[in-house]
Amino acid sequence: MLIKHTSRDIEKHKGDMLVYCVYQQDKKVPVCDNKYVQDTVRLAFKAGDFVGKEGETLLFYPTAKAKIQAKRILVVGLGKKEEAKKENGMTSADLWRENYRKAGGRGSTTALRTKAAKIMTVMPEPFILDFRETAECLTEGLLLGAYQFRKYKKTVEEDEPQSRINEIQLYSLKEKGAVNNGLSAGKAAAMAGTAARDMANEPGNVWTPTRFAEHGRKLAKTYSLSCKILSKSDMKRLKMGGILGVNSGSDQPPKMVILEYKTSARNPTLLMVGKGLTFDSGGISLKPPKGMDEMKFDMCGGAAVLGAMQAVGEEQPKGINVVGIVPATENLPGPSALKPGDIITIYGGKTVEVLNTDAEGRLILADALAYGIKQYKPKAVVDLATLTGAVVIGLGHHRTGLLSNDDDLAQQVTEAGNRSGEPVWRLPLGPEYSKQIKSKVADIKNIGSRAAGTITAAAFLQEFVGDTAWAHLDIAGTAYNFTEKSYIPNKGPSGIGVRTLLELIRNWKQE
């Protein structure tokens, strides 16, 4: 899809849709700088059909009298032009970033519904944000809202969108340099997010651990990153009992994909680790059949890490080194599968009593965390995983669970989530939770009691990070079936985590 800035005459745009964004006024008609559009908005306002509320839309078709060549005109409401109160830690800037993002998404979803392939969006006069940030967020919304995964669909129902958006133009006469910079940043973030969605949408018989490795090599070649793939024999040599144990029921060989972006040894290193369970049956502790098809999404943490590395390769940030690790395997109940009661040894020597083979994500993450911290000595580490059903019970599909051993890192991650429209909610950690995973026959066990399941899963991971600043994001409730937004469908993968990681990297604060 082509997206570009333009300052060509709006009236000469011969595309399928022209999109305007307007602010809601107190009991007054929303203002648009195009007279024809303004007259139509006034008529809709008088009829009580459109006042410019956030997310409200007005679609109409220009007559020859309008001297507008676009086939359709869409007006999207932005809400009241006022500074919002701080909401759950989100600033007015965070909330307006999301408003512009959702406006872009509304433009694209309407374009898909009406089969508009070529659209132009007119930049509104920014409020709270500057031109760069406004363009960035509009672009994110436009591109993420245009996402479709139709690779395997050979027939299309009549009520389904049958077209795709081929071209998006972002129109502005002011601050052209800032708008272009914002467009580039928004495009990098959105395309990384859609790449993660693509990975997650692939079925488990296609997106295997080997495909994760192939994609890692492709990213490395495209963006001049360093790529290292640990094979099963490497894992045996390194004594990575977590990923080897989980993999033992599958005939697909495990892979550990490692991508490295290096600037200078003097700069801090951020390590990102993403769970790459390409299909999770639960192993011997088999999951119920209903909903098991969604377990192809159990690799969304790994997809988020590779998506973020794509954006890092695109933007080449200064002052920071970034390493992404994805431990990838299936979890199946084959004849050699891990059994409840088995004891395994994680990289570094710590032993684990496996009481439930469906608590497998923490086992492969433990190897990756321990190995990554030892090899790359990061200043901080963030892991992402669709780890526990308990986080869905606690937070629903609205917020990602955050647990951390470092308040400063937790704050940075929270701020990154707020800026990207991917909110997190911090849960506690402490010795009282770590007690729940102590084992009588090994160093620790892989599950605690049913109580505080998300926290005890994080307490397990904490055993393998030592004193390194660490944050864990449990995305089980947000990686797919996330709260619906105009630019994120509530069915299928959301791409959550990619833009949070990217915002963290872009705004990294050195202690």
Render each residue's pLDDT in the chain as its tens digit; 511 residues.
Answer: 899 999 988 988 899 999 999 999 989 999 999 999 999 999 999 999 999 999 999 999 998 878 899 999 999 999 998 876 677 788 999 999 999 999 999 999 999 999 999 999 999 999 999 999 999 999 999 999 999 998 898 887 776 655 789 999 999 999 999 999 999 999 999 999 999 999 999 999 999 999 999 999 999 999 999 999 999 999 999 999 999 999 999 999 999 999 999 999 999 999 999 999 999 999 999 999 999 999 999 999 999 999 999 999 999 999 999 999 999 999 999 999 999 999 999 999 999 999 999 999 999 999 999 999 999 999 999 999 999 999 999 999 999 999 999 999 999 999 999 999 999 999 999 999 999 999 999 999 999 988 999 999 999 999 999 999 999 999 999 999 999 899 998 789 999 999 999 999 999 976 5
Is residue 100 in a domain?
yes
Q: Identify the three-state secondary structure at position 140.
A: helix
Q: Computed over its alpha carbons, how large is the radius of gyration of the chain?
A: 24
* Tokens representing residue 304 in the block: 């988020």
Instruction: Provide the CATH number for the domain around residue 60.
Output: 3.40.220.10
Question: 388, 412 in Cβ contact below 8 A?
Answer: no
What are the backbone dihedrals phi and psi of residue 510, each rounded to the nearest 5 degrees, phi first?
Answer: -80, 130
Is residue 184 in a domain?
no
SS (HEC) of 12-81: HCCCCEEEEEEEEECCECCCCCCHHHHHHHHHHHHCCCCCCCCCCEEEECCCHHHCCCCCCEEEEEEEEC
Instruction: Provide the CATH number for the domain around residue 388.
Output: 3.40.630.10
| 306 and 431 together in one domain | yes
| 170 and 238 together in one domain | no
| 125 and 203 together in one domain | no
Is residue 180 in a domain?
no
Pair type for strands 226-230 and 255-261: antiparallel
**pLDDT value for 82:** 82
Listing DSSP states for 260-282 in one string gives EE-S-TTS-EEEEEE-EEEEE--
Answer with the one of 141, 175, 209 that is the final residue of a domain.
175
Full domain range(s) for residue 405: 197-506
Instruction: Write out the catalytic residue numbers.
Output: 287, 362
| 207 and 131 together in one domain | no
Q: Please, which residues have CB within 8 angstroms of residue 337's CB and are 6 or more apart in sequence?
A: 248, 249, 283, 284, 357
d(C-alpha 239, C-alpha 178), whole Å: 51
d(C-alpha 95, C-alpha 106), whole Å: 16
Is residue 191 in a domain?
no
| 251 and 283 together in one domain | yes
The total number of structural domains that make up the chain: 2
d(C-alpha 495, C-alpha 301), whole Å: 9
**pLDDT value for 161:** 59
Is residue 181 in a domain?
no
**pLDDT value for 486:** 96
Is residue 60 in a domain?
yes
* Helix (H) / strand (E) containing 299: none
d(C-alpha 250, C-alpha 252), whole Å: 5
Query: Which of 176, 94, 117, 129 shows the shortest CA–CA distance to 21?
Result: 129
Answer with the one of 111, 145, 175 that is the final residue of a domain.
175
Distance from the first to the final alpha carbon of the chain: 40
| 233 and 165 together in one domain | no
Q: How distant, in Å, are the alpha carbons of 254, 262, 263, 312, 382 from that of 318?
A: 33, 10, 7, 10, 19
Q: How distant, in Å, are the alpha carbons of 13, 101, 105, 166, 184 from that of 137?
A: 23, 5, 10, 19, 11
| 168 and 211 together in one domain | no
Question: 382, 497 in Cβ contact below 8 A?
Answer: no
Is residue 182 in a domain?
no
Is residue 190 in a domain?
no
| 495 and 351 together in one domain | yes
| 162 and 202 together in one domain | no
| 359 and 461 together in one domain | yes
Q: Identify the three-state secondary structure at position 367.
A: helix
Phi-psi region of 282 (alpha: psi -120 to 50; beta: other; left: phi over 0): left
d(C-alpha 429, C-alpha 437), whole Å: 13
Answer with the one of 142, 175, 208 that is the final residue of a domain.
175
| 73 and 156 together in one domain | yes
| 261 and 336 together in one domain | yes
Residue 122, burial from CB neighbour count under 10 angstroms (0-12, 13-18, 19+): buried
